[in-house]
Structure 1
Amino acid sequence: MGKLEHIQQHLENIKSSEGDSFVYDEKAILSEYEKRDGENSSFIIKVLSIFGGILASIAFLSFLLLFGLIESEATILFIGIGLIIVSLFITKKFDALLLDTMGISLFVLGMALFIFGLFMFEIHENVITFLVMAVALCSLFVVRNSVLSFLALLIISGSILTLIITTDAYSLIHLYINLHALALTYVFLNESSIITSDFRLVKLYDPLRIALVFSLLFGLVGTSKNGLFSLSKSYYWTSSMVLILILIYVVYLLLKEFKVESSKTKLWVYLLSALTLLPTLFAPAISGALLIVLLSFKVNYKTGLSIGILALIYFVIQYYYDLSYTLLTKSIILFSSGLVFLLFYVFLYKKLKSDEKV
């Protein structure tokens, strides 16, 4: 069954349960979903085109700098500001793929020149970070473009991380992870209420969702690799505890969605979940990747699911590599974790089989 047929079937089920009082515009709903599918299918083309435009812009800029055609700091700064303004105008006024791609490419190049020009004026790096964040925030409110909104959100999250690094407040990375995990959970679990609260949020929801996924991963990377940040592992549990509690809550929602009524089954699921998550108490990167996987699975978000699985594999390998134990101890840890996952799989498999027989 295709996606549109599935939507039609879902609408018919709602109508049959609600009665004749339920009224909806089927053509408008299907048309909107077709439009959103078209935008999603062209997203990869846009991204590839944007990369091509960025590379061409960098080549042109390198040519100007190489031959000394741009020497003034003020010139670089004003060109950057001008390119940002032009890019916002193009993406706001035009919806064509070529112009849209050109506008986003100019935005990236303009931001690069803007940052470079500020550094040439020897402005303090924290002030530069705040200015870049302000430009990204203004761009987010001015233009309702999915790719540009995605870039602006990433710039804002990257600016927050930059401030944490430049001020040597590395312990705030745990607060960064916790806030992004809570925001990600809220956005994933409240799609309908978010997009219906304000029509302008319809186009911003998808870039917000994927940007939060990457932003959370940026923070998790800082805790996954030893020596990347000056962090004490003694406080890793402050991130992991929040992530684990959110994961348990998502498990509760999944049990509710699958209509699991047996108290014994629920107890086993919670017990196995706790055993699975316990080893991640001092590895928030693993529990964070698990959260992305579980949330994406619950809302059937395939992109997030793929990213979460890849991140989970990487974080597990990195965690195993950084363990300061003997090879035998590492093998025991992996063996125990794998055994818990296998028990979880066997339990779920038997449960699903028994439900099918019923």
Structure 2
Amino acid sequence: MKKNLFFVLLLCSVLQGTSQTPAEFKSPTDRYRPKPLWFWNNTTVTRKGIDTQLKALKEQAGYGGVSILPFGAKFGPKYLSPEYFDLYEYTAGKAEALGMQLSLYDEYGFPSGSGGAIGGDDIPRFLNRYPSLAMKRLDKIEEEVDGGTVYHKPASAAGKLMSVVAMDTATKERIDLTDKITEGVIVWKVPEGRWKIMQFVCVNDGDPNMDYLSKDAARAYVTMTHEQYYKRFPQYFGTTITETFFDEPTLYRAKGRVWTPSFNDEYRARYGSSPALYYPALWYDIGPETEAARNALFTLRSDLYAEAYPLTISRWSAAHGALATGHQDNEEVENPVGTSGDLMKCFRYLDIPGIDKIG
């Protein structure tokens, strides 16, 4: 491991439910010291390099632990391979001997959720293994028609049809056309006026990351990553491996229209009604209900986002003797609804809410 390829990004952890003595505050013990992101950066990592750098991190830099972050196309050994886990277990043993702790980073590169496709070796491990659970996008297909005719067009088969709505362009009256679909075809006698007919479809985006709104996707990702570490060296969890850390999931991907096929079902289960007539508000002014419609849809999206990966990670971590921490991208945006959901909701499930501060 070449020294000039070693970088750190500080991750400072605040221990919950503990207190320090004045002496510990003046000269902190290891448990209170920062744990940097230890980039295994674009090079072949060796036991000799680990011995040298981990000892220096402890004795020269004064860190209390590290969070290993594999990075770069030339990183070796291959991510999630037996050789990779052997090296990670070796590092855990060395950390234990030095009295240091590890924070389990969940990705190869970042953001968390793809398994190496971004900032790694370009292999979309999650997408390859769980294609149905990868990121989805909400698309709109529309056309305008005049009244007095019969609208006869096929419903989109590009993905899961979430809603079909006709809206009078002048009065903003909206009509749910879901019950006008027969054998995949929309048939509707158009009333007088000029009408915008809109289909809203949840489609595969092609982004290699997991569906950030799906608990099933979150559980699958944990199976692919976290569980593999625990299966191989459970003896270090709760003692040496004391935290988990995720990095930069966000909702600005998929053209800013991250969605999930189960959205309507979740909406009905929580609110007892259908969101079908609210979908146009994501693109247009629909009249007096515009703000309420957007609030309802974005509130649920924020809840689903928070309850998928952050909550899944938190529960897994607690069950394996670790605290859950991490951060998401775009924390600095004044109104994060469109890109990060609701920061407080996202962080409410973490033991140690994080924030990225670089520079």
Report the TM-score, using the length of structure 1 for normalisation: 0.33
More strand by share: 2
More helix by share: 1
Q: Which has the higher contact order (CA 8 A, sep 6+)?
A: 2
